[in-house]
């Protein structure tokens, strides 16, 4: 009888516990399951977004090569369409920032320098990658020079840490100094560019610029 009462007491205690805690337990399980399913859904969504962005960018690069590099009469609609899709639908993706760089290149090639600046500023304002910001800033300085805004280009360059882009940076610095009429500063910048450009494709161009200044400058 003692065992029976004990079992009855245990059963009654279990019923009372369930009345007090059962609802919370069920809710907790539902929330936990929903959280797992929600996280899996979020991961799947992100994977789909990343795949779509990658596909769009690959097609964009192919369009740039086909139309801008190989076609004497380029049709730019496809380039604009793909790049703007990336910028609008995947604005937080690095692919969208590379797309803006390509749009800036298109704008420079068509001499639409204001649009080129707008695309480069879009990258500079959004990217969290130092190298990408440096590339966009160096290209912006070159566009400013094409617009004869040499002082603005010099101001921009003064705020850039060149890092692994030292050859490009000092070449631009030399170009700016040359345009400003400071041939000694231009020579020093080209010397720094040459030191950083060993075995790089732009080394002969930098050397030519330096040679034109003569041995007395520097």
The pLDDT of residue 61 is 83
| Under-50 pLDDT residues of the chain | 1-4, 37, 39, 42, 45
Give the residue among 200, 145, 208, 124 at the shortest CA–CA distance from 168.
200
Instruction: Calculate the dihedral angle through the C-alpha atoms of 52, 110, 155, 95, rounding to the nearest 10 degrees.
Output: 10
Structure tokens at 19: 């009345």
Separation CA 106–CA 119 (nearest Å): 10
Structure tokens at 174: 């030399």
* CA 92-93-98 angle, 5° bins: 120
The pLDDT of residue 4 is 43
Q: Where are the domains of the chain?
A: 61-140, 162-218
The pLDDT of residue 114 is 95
- Phi-psi category of residue 73: left, alpha or beta, with phi > 0 → left and psi -120 to 50 → alpha: beta
Per-residue pLDDT reduced to its tens digit, 104-159:
999 998 899 999 999 999 999 998 889 999 999 999 999 999 999 999 999 999 99
Contact by Cβ (8 Å): 120, 100: yes
The pLDDT of residue 20 is 65
The pLDDT of residue 15 is 64
Residue with structure tokens 């907790």?
28
The pLDDT of residue 7 is 58
The pLDDT of residue 2 is 44
Per-residue pLDDT reduced to its tens digit, 100-111:
998 999 999 889
Separation CA 114–CA 96 (nearest Å): 19
Contact by Cβ (8 Å): 213, 187: yes
The pLDDT of residue 45 is 44
């Amino acid at each position: 009888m003692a065992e029976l009462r004990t079992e009855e007491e245990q059963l009654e205690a279990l019923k009372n516990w369930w009345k007090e805690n059962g609802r919370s337990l069920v809710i907790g399980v539902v929330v936990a399951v929903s959280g797992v399913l929600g996280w899996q859904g979020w991961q799947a969504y992100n994977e789909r977004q990343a795949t779509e962005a990658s596909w769009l960018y690959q097609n964009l690069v192919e369009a740039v090569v086909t139309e801008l590099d190989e076609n004497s009469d380029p049709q730019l609609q496809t380039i604009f369409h793909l790049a703007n899709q990336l910028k609008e639908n995947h604005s937080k993706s690095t692919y969208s920032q590379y797309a803006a760089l390509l749009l800036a290149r298109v704008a420079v090639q068509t001499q639409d320098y204001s649009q080129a600046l707008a695309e480069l500023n879009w990258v500079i304002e959004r990217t969290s990658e130092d190298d990408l910001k440096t590339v966009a800033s160096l290209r912006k300085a070159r566009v400013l020079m094409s617009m004869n805004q040499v002082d603005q280009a010099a101001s921009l360059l003064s705020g850039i840490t060149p890092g692994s882009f030292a050859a490009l940076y000092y070449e631009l610095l030399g170009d700016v100094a040359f345009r400003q009429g400071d041939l000694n500063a231009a020579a020093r910048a080209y010397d720094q560019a040459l030191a950083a450009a060993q075995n790089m494709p732009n080394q002969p161009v930098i050397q030519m610029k330096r040679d034109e200044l003569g041995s007395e400058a520097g």
